[in-house]
Amino acid sequence: MVNKYFVKSVAASLVLSFSASQAFADDVDFLHWWTSGGEAAAVGVLKDDLEGKGIGWKDMPIAGGGGDAAMTTLKARVTAGNAPTAVQMLGYAIQDWGDQGKLANLNDLAASEGWDAVVPSALQAFSKHNGDWVAAPVNVHSTNWVWISKSALDATGGNAPSTWEELVSVLDAMKANGITPLAHGGQAWQDATIFDGVALSLGNGFYKSALIDLNEDALGGPLMVEAFNRMATLRSYVDDNFSGRDWNLASAMVINGEAGMQMMGDWAKGEFLKAGQKPGSDFVCVRFPGTQGSVTFNSDQFAMFSGSGSSAAQEAMASSVMNPVFQSAFNVVKGSVPARTDVPDMMFDHCGKKGMADLAAANAAGSLFGSMAHGHTVRPAIQSAIVDVVSAHFNGEFSAEEAAEEMVAAVAAAR
């Protein structure tokens, strides 16, 4: 149902702007890893929104998809006693910083704005530390997506794959058509992002027991061996120059017709949109074949560091990102979906509407899981041990059987 208040607020927020020469009462020093074209466009929406509220912007972008480099910089800054005011943060990293007592308490703001009632509990589990709100969720991304070039798909007969076997036959057909079937960047976090979809395609039960519960039988068992076999199959469809390639350059290969598809979280959609492409006519979004009905999510949250910058500016920033009008405008550009359940889907394209519907359905069905690759299944130390094994296998260091054994050993050592 179209909400009239929402339409008016969208219109009002779009015309509200301050001149560049405006002096700001409070600045926000914001550390994040949103540096690709699509991400920068989304940051622009955030920046305009804050400036419209009189909060200045000190940008601290640290390039590197998935945020590993940003988290390294964050640790160095906190150690040097120079924590940023606000930080883009994922999942269990928030809990680690909460344990260290570094995060500001947002309980008063959350209570006055009623966050408890509108943020799904799966997200609150990360936004709250020991029951206190310490982060404001700006979105929900999910990783079990495939982004397919419409023309490359049409050249294979036009049917988007919905099972593993269909996926392999579409990849084969793309190869036969002379394009790189799978656009991929060989960086550990990107290998891990594909692994989210591959593991989930072997069943919700397997995903949960291996990557959330860290059950040794699942970590080292036959389904894990099969997951690594599937990873090796996918590896055979990647071009020779994949090592080190940034994820947005892999998206560009699909956008410009060099490659057939990319397996990536829905931030990839931001790149397609930024390039002027339209879902349905230029590209197709499908869930990783075999994972329909399930979602592996990650949520970008804004964590505020206590004692760093003014708490008024921190609260104003948190309040801004929690605003339903902002959550619509930002996520339409970013490729993600709102972190609030009360934001209508009317501004979103077909893939965004599907993302919102899939999230709600998976939540209701008990098939919504955190993304391992993006820090929502286990604490960072264990996650990074898992990612290392996935990446080493992808790069040919281990056979599938050896990788499953390494998985058990690496998790045990990191625990």
Applying CB under 6 A, among 10, 31, 66, 254 the residue interacting with ligand BGC is 66
The vertex-358 CA angle with 354 and 361, nearest 5°, equals 140
31: part of which helix (H) or strand (E)? strand 26-32
Among 62-70, 234-242, 317-325, 352-360, which window interacts with ligand BGC (CB under 6 A)? 62-70
Q: Which is nearer to ligand BGC, 187 or 294 (CB)?
A: 187
**Is 374 a residue that touches ligand BGC (CB under 6 A)?**
yes
Query: Which ranges of 163-302 does DSSP label H, i.e. alpha helix?
Result: 164-176, 188-200, 204-207, 216-220, 222-235, 247-255, 268-274
Q: What one-character DSSP code corresponds to residue 381?
A: H
Among 9-17, 64-72, 249-257, 287-295, which window interacts with ligand BGC (CB under 6 A)? 64-72
Q: Give the span between the Cα atoms of 101 and 398, in whole angstroms.
A: 40
Q: In angstroms, what is the minimal distance from the CB of 40 to ligand BGC?
A: 10
Among 63-71, 176-184, 325-333, 389-397, which window interacts with ligand BGC (CB under 6 A)? 63-71
Q: Which is nearer to ligand BGC, 66 or 220 (CB)?
A: 66
Q: Which is nearer to ligand BGC, 168 or 387 (CB)?
A: 387
Residues binding ligand BGC: what is the number (CB under 6 A)? 11
Q: In angstroms, what is the minimal distance from the CB of 267 to ligand BGC?
A: 3
Q: Give the span between the Cα atoms of 133 and 24, in whole angstroms.
A: 27
Q: DSSP letters along 331-374, please?
A: HHHHS-B-SSTT--STTS-HHHHHHHHHHHHHHHHT-EEE-TTT
Residues 70-99 interacting with ligand BGC (rule: CB under 6 A): 90
Taking CB atoms, the residue at the shortest distance from ligand BGC is 267
Q: In angstroms, what is the minimal distance from the CB of 64 to ligand BGC?
A: 7
Residues 139-198 interacting with ligand BGC (rule: CB under 6 A): 141
Q: In angstroms, what is the minimal distance from the CB of 310 to ligand BGC?
A: 26
Q: In angstroms, what is the minimal distance from the CB of 298 to ligand BGC?
A: 5
Applying CB under 6 A, among 51, 300, 358, 406 the residue interacting with ligand BGC is 300
Binding mask 21-60 for ligand BGC (x = CB under 6 A): ------------x-----x---------------------
**Is 65 a residue that touches ligand BGC (CB under 6 A)?**
yes
Name beta bridge partners: 182.
238, 261
Q: In angstroms, what is the minimal distance from the CB of 35 to ligand BGC?
A: 8
Q: Give the span between the Cα atoms of 61 and 374, in whole angstroms.
A: 18
**Is 352 a residue that touches ligand BGC (CB under 6 A)?**
no
Name beta bridge partners: 354.
none
Q: Which is nearer to ligand BGC, 129 or 141 (CB)?
A: 141
Provide CB contacts within 8 A for 266, sequence distance 6+.
141, 142, 145, 285, 335, 336, 337, 351, 355
Q: Give the span between the Cα atoms of 78 and 89, in whole angstroms.
A: 14
Residues 260-299 interacting with ligand BGC (rule: CB under 6 A): 267, 298
The residue type at 136: A
Q: Which is nearer to ligand BGC, 267 or 302 (CB)?
A: 267
Tell me the Cα Rg of the chain.
Answer: 21
Among 53-61, 65-73, 78-86, 198-206, which window interacts with ligand BGC (CB under 6 A)? 65-73
Q: Which is nearer to ligand BGC, 268 or 389 (CB)?
A: 268
Neighbour count for residue 380 (Cβ, 10 Å):
18
Q: Give the span between the Cα atoms of 206 and 54, in whole angstroms.
A: 49
Applying CB under 6 A, among 67, 137, 220, 309 the residue interacting with ligand BGC is 67
Cα–Cα nearest to 300, from 228, 376, 368, 378: 376
How many CA atoms does the CB half-sphere of 188 hold within 13 Å? Answer: 15
Q: In angstroms, what is the minimal distance from the CB of 262 to ligand BGC?
A: 12
Among 61-69, 107-115, 150-158, 255-263, which window interacts with ligand BGC (CB under 6 A)? 61-69
What is the β-pairing status of strands 180-182 and 368-370?
Answer: unpaired
Q: What one-character DSSP code corresponds to residue 22?
A: P
- C-alpha distances (whole Å) from 98 to each of 131, 138, 414 are 11, 18, 20
Q: Give me the residues that bind ligand BGC (CB under 6 A), please.
A: 33, 39, 65-67, 90, 141, 267, 298, 300, 374
